[in-house]
Amino acid sequence: MTELRVERVADYWVARFQAMASPCEVLVDTDDPTVARRVGAIAYSEALRVERKFSRYRADGVVAQINAANGATVEVDEETAALLNYADACYRMSDGRFDVTSGILRRVWRFDGSARVPESQAVQALMPLIGWGRVSWQNPRLTLLPGMEIDLGGIGKEYAVDRAVGLIRAESPASVLVNFGGDLVSSGARRDGRAWQIGIENPAQLANANASRGGFELTRGAAATSGDTRRYLLKDGQRYPHILDARTGWPVEGAPKSITVLAPTCIEAGTLATLAMLQGVQAESFLDTQGVKYWCLR
């Protein structure tokens, strides 16, 4: 069991904990450590709740229950239904590139920096079990083909951040910045009217000129990042990034190393970043047409 710690940093308090396999923190614009603890606890319990409910590794969770159904119809609750509706919308918007049934590809793709690119037959063998189009989703009833699985990991963390901020707003007027492993939301301007300052990793490598280098300010809104500079495969000089096209089962060619997008909510930011990654070499032009602020690392 990890724990929740609060400490004072400059003119605010920060609550830190570990959840969803990531370091998480909540910056609370207050001088009162009690407020920081209370706000931190809200974020912590919501992160644990979402993780417990939607992690595919938790046998008592909804996702595990769906994946264990082996072809049987599962009736889901309202919250799960809302997430599945969202996943359904993403699938259609991306023409099938973004697909919550593609998680089983992790059985053959392990992005550990090695050269172990799977055989194409191994990937092909999994393809009949991938495809949201093969799923029957009639709210609240979900029926997968036997052997199929869903994985809400691609949207779960961003969803948890949005949920946590919503809960904190209802409880406390203090300005907060919730950051779950790099996916973050600011609830509003700080006491002195300033914005929260966000730094960016490896600013020197930023490829697009559309954004300011070094960092950005977040008053009320969200930022999320897709891609991980540490997770890739490298074989024969070719770099395979950790972003798989659900239609082929293979990494997207020409995708940036990472993309950070600003949007009103974290889940929008995260989805836009992922959809851009899936556009490969066209990631930047895709984001330009969407008219969002972003940072692309190539």
Partner 1 sequence: MQLKPKQTPSIRQALTVAACTLLSAPAVRAQGTWELDSSLLFYSEQDRVRAIEPVVRLKKQISEDEHFALQFVADSLTGASPSGAVPTTTPQTFTSPSGNSTYNTPANEIPLDPSFHDTRGAISFDWGRPLSRESRVVYQGHVSKEFDYLSTGVGATLSWDFNQRNTTLAAGASIGYDQVNPVGGAPVGLAPMPTFPTVKATSGDSDTKQLADLLLGVTQIISRTTLMQLNYTYGKESGYLTDPYKLVSVVDAGGNPVETLYEKRPDTRARNALYWRTLSAFGKDRLDFSYRYYWDDWGLRAHTADLRYRFEFGGGHYLEPQLRYSLQSQAADFYRPFLRQGESPQYASADYRLSEMTTSTIGLKYGVATRRDGEFAVRVGYMLQTGEDHPANAPGQLANQDLFPDTKALLFQVNYSLKF
Partner 2 sequence: MRRLMLTIGVLACALSGCAFDRVQPWERDVLARKSMQLDAYPLDSFLDDHVYFSKEGAHGGRGVGGGGCGCN
Query: Applying CB under 8 A, which of residues 75, 112, 201, 217 lies at the interface with partner 2?
Result: 75
User: Closest approach of Cβ 112 to partner 1, in Å?
Assistant: 32
d(CA 277, CA 280): 6
Query: Which residue in 15, 39, 62, 277 binds partner 2 (CB under 8 A)?
Result: 62
Tell me the two tokens of residue 168: 């904190």
Q: Is the peptide bond before 23 cis (omega within 30 degrees of 0)?
A: no
- The two three-digit tokens of residue 62, written as one number: 């909804």
Strand pairing partners for 246?
A: none
Helix (H, G, I), strand (E, B) or coil at 245: strand
Question: Is there binding between residue 3 and partner 2 (CB under 8 A)?
Answer: no
Which of 45, 49, 64, 79 is the binder for partner 1 (CB under 8 A)?
79
Q: Under the criterion CB under 8 A, does residue 79 sit at the interface with partner 2?
A: yes
Chain position carrying tokens 């570990």: 18
**How far is the CA of 42 from the CAs of 48, 99, 127, 160, 165, in angstroms?**
10, 31, 40, 11, 9
Question: Site for partner 1 (CB under 8 A): which residue of 81, 127, 195, 207?
Answer: 81
Q: Which does 76 bind (CB under 5 to 8 A by kind): partner 1, partner 2, none?
A: partner 2
Count other Cβ atoms within 10 Å, centred on residue 224.
27
- Asked if 56 interacts with partner 2 (CB under 8 A), we say no
Interface with partner 1 (CB under 8 A):
72-73, 78-79, 81-83, 85-86, 89-90, 93, 138, 141, 159, 162-163, 166, 263-265, 267-268, 271-272, 275, 286, 289-292
Interface with partner 2 (CB under 8 A):
49, 53, 62, 75-80, 140
